[in-house]
A and B are shown apart, each in its own frame.
Chain A
Amino acid sequence: MAQRAIWLVSHEPGTPHGGTVRFSRRYPTVEKRAKTFNGSSYVPLPEDDPFCKALLFELRLLDDDKDFVESRDGCSRISKASVYGLPIGGKELWPVLALQKNGLIYVSVPLVEQTLSAHPPLISISGISQAFDLLFGLIDFFDSGPRTEADLSTKVSQLPDLLLHICPFGTLLDSNFLLDNFSNLSIYQAPKQPAWKAGTYKGKPQVAVSITEKVKSMQYDKREVADMWQVYGTITCKCDLEGVMPNVTISLNLPTNGSPLQDILVHPCVTSLDSAVLTSSSVDIMDDSAFSGPYKFPFTPPLESFHLCYYTSQVPVPPILGFYQLKEEDSQLKITVHLKLHESVKNCFEYCEAHIPFYNRGPITHLEYKVSFGQVEVLREKSLLIWIIGQKFPKSLEINLSGTVNFNTMGHQKQPVDTICIGGTTYVKLYFRIPDYTLTGCYADQHSVQVFASGKPKITTCRELISSDYYIWNSKAPAPVAYRSLFL
């Protein structure tokens, strides 16, 4: 259960090598074990340069994907769960777990404690999930704060020291790289105190709970295809409480007509879970007997801000119902968009926009439109219309846009090809945020937080609804189906 090596590679498109190794760390003691365990199927770790080249090639991040290359493009070479095999010096280095995020590639090679002549299933490799934990931890570390080159360099320069504490011999001791200073490290843990909470807070007690719900939707306005929408939420907490192990219980409540929470996944600091919470799952067909809270989460908080839980929910209606029609007439497109806010939804947005992109057609040359509400912005080169709806829907809760668009098909080649939006297949995508509102109705208030520690803490709660992948497809053309009702 250890890692043989860790790499951090930055992808730099357009440079001669396509990327550089920003950081690498090898674990010789683990390597020695790998040699024994893997036997004749052992493949030594490559040096940084050949590794970087092989990785970028495999991930298709080099510019030369002009030709078919079997080791990369073969139809039977399907990588599983971001685990790749890299051809190195005539042999294959496997398993290489590589995760990409914001131009960086996070890589780890876990030790496999058996021979590799045939790839064993990932589930039988004890180090694989640790590699996930390690890389997710690194991603959190690099994603925090400003993402400038200077910030990146500073963080890279901190990595050797961090790893010397958190993963000195390739066996991960903690996946939390986000530490104020090294004195908060688990390795400095005082006796009888959680390893994930090495220090103690001193100051005014306060607890902040925030609920962020995101809503996805696919709307088709077709008889034979059912529309789909889904809500999922994240509860984030920050508890500044004195004492070694303060106990906190947060209960989430639903109003009487709220939608039950399902698929609840909690932070490891949660000490116990009600079986109703554990078993409520989105695969069940909803009925009135479903458990609808309160959802209690007893825990001992870590020092830093953390995600207490994630959930999904099935709400009866999407917040905004829309339809979109696009027709091609005499080398121009006629478009009609209709949006309706559901009356139960709080009509108070921070922002609400409908993006209407046109793919594989070239830049917009001419546009005529009529809107019942809001304004339209045209990004001609990007072939994109943005309908800015603003903070509120009108009293009728319904709004329309119609118009005609012309394109310069000659400029078509310069734009990237989209392989989904071909012909009439296209969509309107909605972006909105409603503060102090959740679609499920889920809320936390002053009474939801119980703290078993000295002093009465100040409790702040907030909630919000944000759109995520909210598509309304052209009802006059085929659309990719997210078929959830296939087997029902």
Chain B
Amino acid sequence: MGPRSADAWARVLAALRASPAAFVARAGAEALAAELLSELRSERLSEPTKVSLLAAILEFPTQLWPDPTAAEAAVSALLDTLALLPPRPAALRRPLLLAATSVLASCGALAPASAATSRLLCVLLRAAAGRAAGPEQRAVRATACECLRELESCHPGLLAGQLGLLRALQDTLGTQAHCLLFVLTLRDALGALARAGPGAPAGLHGLPDSPGAQWPGPWDWSLAGEDVRDPAAPVGREGGRPEPSAGPLDLTPPEARELRAAVSQLLDASYLLTPPAQAQMLQQLSQVLRTVRGQPPALLKPQLVRLLGTARVSLLHAVLASKDAFGEALFTAQDEALLLRRLVGAAQHPALPSPARLFCLHCLLHFPENWPLGPAGEEGTPVLLTPSLATGLLPSLLQDPPDLLARLHLLCLLCGEELGADGRRDCQGTEDQVLLYLQGLLASLRQGAAQPGAPRSSVTLCFRASYLATRCLASHPGALAQLTKGLAELYQARPCLAPHFVDLLEQAGEVLAEPLGKALQQVAVAGAGGAQALQWHLQILTKVAGGQPLGPTLGFLWAALGQGGDWAWEQALLGACRALLRGTDLSGAGPRNLANLLQELARGLDDPDSRDRGRLYYSLFTHLSGSKLGSALGPTRSTPMLGSSLVEENEGFASALTVQEAQAPLQLRRVPQQAKEPPVILGLTVEASEILYSLELRFRVLGPHYEPLEAVQVPCLRPGASPKLLLLPLEPRRPYPTLLDVSVLYATPGGLTCYAQLPSLPIAFADLFLPLPPPSPEVTHPPTFQELWASCLPGGAESCMWGPWQGQALETLVTKHWEPFVMSATPPTSYRVAIRLPPSSQLLLQLEAAGEDGVRVALRTDDWAILPLAGEYLRGLGATL
């Protein structure tokens, strides 16, 4: 493929952007990545085109370099390109830094051992510390800071060793980028120290001696975490941020003083940052202060007063976060009241955009109170939010649906308790008014939804509002009755809303479902809406008929049967019958009528499938008792969108037939086995964490070098029982190490068949060792070691190496690893070992201790291909010493 033109690249990048996975699969990640990198140095392409190539690298690095090693090479290539740029201003410098950072951080190449990592960090630190004054240099400096900040975000603690340098830069240059980088690094460094506990390697490196910024020496990874924080965070709070189990960090007095000075200085300059940057800085400084013992949060106070007045969502959010972090230590009761009033004001401010108002309203319902009464993490109205304070937050019909619902929710929460209880707070006396208001609003919404041709959005709004109000009205039978009546009227006016009713019945809980079900059944059996509404009535009856008296439903179904219809109609009819079968009212004349109806269905329906089902129901009904009938027809899961109830009621059955993918509830462990002759035996024990039956363990050796293994059956495994031992005969075609892929198929006590994939087991070179076969009785003179040694050549190979085993080590080694294979020995200095490697190779070792320096190992084999494996094996033994 020749070099592409700028237009061709634009097309390629558009295709990549549209569907990265498909495009990379088509074009080949490696080829595309290599082409992108080489084109960056091409002189044909213009700078804007190259910037667009870098933008693609910035955005899709994981698709282009799925492998960390390749990613590392790519970062090096990008840095090489950067080094080749001419010293004059170049538009490529910033995107190159960004792209290299993105590739390094997102492809998993950021690591202590990575050369590209150290190179990039050095380049970035140098660029961030640059002093040149031109606009280009300023931009590169800021970009380098951003890149460092991103690396630090991905790997908290990475820059902890450079804290002094960063502080100095922040002092002298003081730009937003430097401030943000320093704050983040400071937070992460303190967090890492707090997590490390009292035995931390060092205190705050370099923070106290800020003026003398030391240039980075060898990189210190001691405080750098594994990756981003461990996600074992407490529920409802982000990140495992310094909420350390070891408690807050104790700093020495000079360190603490220095920290306080640094924080105050940052806060004083925070006015100079853009609002989103201020919000970030404030949140991170709150975290800093929270990490360290004895740091007064009052430092934040002067800034909070300024921020409280602003209309920015992010600044308000940051203020709330610091309130959450420090509570009363930062916000007195009066401050809390003021903050709440500001929040109420913002939530109803007509000049703010609606989403911002809604967010403020959400914050009100999760307001971090100094002394919360309700459970944490749940929505609730703060104690200070009195109904009179919330007057401006009432819902009204003219608001947009999201506003209306959010305000209705607030009203319900605000008055939920008061309406039920005997008028606490100052809601007493207004109870009836609130109820009337709520009912009026709901009635208007129902009226809107009842309009013929009303859009689904207004219908949905009506049902959502009813759902919210139900919770608030639960203790008000009168109001609930009115809601039920209104909804029944709505159904009467528009039976096509049946799916919404079914949904409401499921979601709203018993308190509404019970009376509403009854009311809807009455409307349905009365047959409102004529023949077109029949399908909707059947849908409602399928949901509610089970709990209602049988008679009226049966009458309706008989009448419906007379009208006839298509397959779907027949299925709907059968669905309603099924609901009756599972119902509770099977007394009096009902059962006989139901049996008659089922018989009529079995005979009279057009579709043979429907007739069969009718017959099945009839047989079940006439032969099974009520409780068995209920379980035979299975748990009902109402899924109104399902075309056929056949699928629905067979779901449980079908899942019993299908193999389920599961997490393996069992563990395999290797047990050493020493076979005397072929085959090599691999010993495994199996333990289960729950009862499992009819296990079939399937083994597959990866690669072509082994005969296939047969599956092993185990009838039963119980937790706590002694582990079951399995002996797997391995038949290598070549004596090479490999991996054993293990999967298991089993039955659970619940009757499900499950399939699970277990972790692969490695088969090492040493696992294949066997002693030489014992001499057969016919052979009078078994070959000596010397004869075997000589017989290896010329067909085989020989090698010689030095082993670092001194003194007794050689004897220990032989006892531990080669005991069965020793042919002759002069302990503790000389051993001759002969190992057989199935199917037909052998490995001979002559070990001679050479004084105190180590051991000379001579090895010969009749199979040259195993020589590297043997070498690796011996080196491995040396390493374990």
Contacts and interface: CB of A to CB of B under 8 A. Distances in A.
Interface string A454-488: 00000000000000110100000010111111111
Contacts of B279: 129-130, 133
Nearest to B393: A283
B311 interface: yes
B205 interface: no
A271 B306 contact: yes
A192 B271 contact: no
A122 B351 CA distance: 23
A164 B21 contact: no
A277 B392 contact: no
Interface residues of B, number: 145
Contacts of B464: 75-76, 78
A188 to B, nearest CB: 5
A400 to B, nearest CB: 26
A187 B448 contact: no
B154 interface: yes
Nearest to B308: A278
Given A265-B310, A268-B315, A486-B433, A279 B338 contact: yes
Contact of B142 (A169, A188, A230): A188
A358 B642 CA distance: 41
- Please report whether the interface of chain B is mostly helix, strand, loop or mixed according to DSSP: helix
B390 A487 contact: yes
Contacts of B291: none
A99 B355 contact: yes
Contact of A130 (B307, B308, B314): B314
Contacts of A134: 276
Nearest to A134: B276
A349 interface: no
Interface string B417-450: 0000000001100100110010010001001110
A94 interface: no
Contacts of A305: none
B503 interface: yes
B313 A132 contact: yes
A121 B355 contact: no
Nearest to A478: B444
A467 to B, nearest CB: 13
A121 B454 contact: no
Interface in A72-123: 73-76, 78-82, 97, 99, 112-115, 118, 120-123
Interface stretch (B233-241, B582-590, B628-636): B233-241
A431 B318 CA distance: 39
Contacts of B101: 29, 169
Contacts of B228: 32-33, 36-37
Interface stretch (A171-179, A368-376, A444-452): A171-179
B349 to A, nearest CB: 6
Contact of B19 (A1, A49, A307): A49
Contacts of A190: 138, 175
B290 interface: no
A168 B176 contact: no
B99 to A, nearest CB: 10
Given A169-B102, A310-B349, A191 B175 contact: yes
A186 B95 CA distance: 17
B194 interface: no
Given A33-B228, A482-B396, A265 B437 contact: no
Interface string B271-284: 11111111110010
A76 B174 contact: no
A1 B283 contact: yes
A326 B452 CA distance: 23
A272 interface: yes
B319 to A, nearest CB: 11
B389 A123 contact: no
A413 B453 CA distance: 9
Interface string B539-571: 000000000000000000000000000000000
B406 interface: yes
Contact of A82 (B55, B174, B355, B430): B355
B298 interface: no
B522 interface: no
A263 interface: yes
B391 A485 contact: yes
Contacts of A281: 341-342, 344-345
Nearest to A117: B235
B398 interface: yes
B377 interface: yes
Contacts of A113: 229, 233, 238-239
Interface stretch (B358-366, B792-800, B803-811): B358-366
Interface stretch (B59-67, B617-625, B689-697): B59-67
Nearest to B458: A419
Contacts of A468: 350
Which of A69, A97, A173 neighbours the largest number of chain B CB atoms within 10 Å of its CB? A173
A191 B174 contact: yes
B645 interface: no
Nearest to B145: A187
A288 interface: no
12 contacts: A33-B153, A60-B456, A68-B499, A68-B641, A114-B237, A136-B353, A136-B356, A186-B274, A278-B308, A283-B388, A480-B396, A486-B433
Given A70-B503, A75-B503, A483-B394, 16 more contacts: A32-B62, A67-B499, A68-B640, A75-B463, A112-B238, A120-B377, A124-B366, A129-B314, A168-B58, A191-B174, A195-B277, A263-B348, A265-B309, A283-B344, A419-B458, A487-B430
10 tightest A-B contacts by CB? A419-B448, A480-B397, A68-B499, A265-B311, A129-B317, A310-B351, A28-B106, A263-B345, A113-B239, A113-B238
Interface of B: 17-21, 52, 55, 58-62, 94-95, 98, 101-102, 105-106, 108, 135, 138-139, 142-143, 146-147, 149-150, 153-154, 172-177, 227-229, 231, 233, 235-239, 271-280, 283, 305-318, 320-321, 338, 341-342, 344-346, 348-353, 355-356, 358-359, 361-363, 366, 368, 377, 379, 387-392, 394, 396-398, 402, 405-406, 409, 426-427, 430, 433-434, 437, 440, 444, 447-449, 451-460, 463-464, 466-468, 499-500, 503-504, 507-508, 640-641
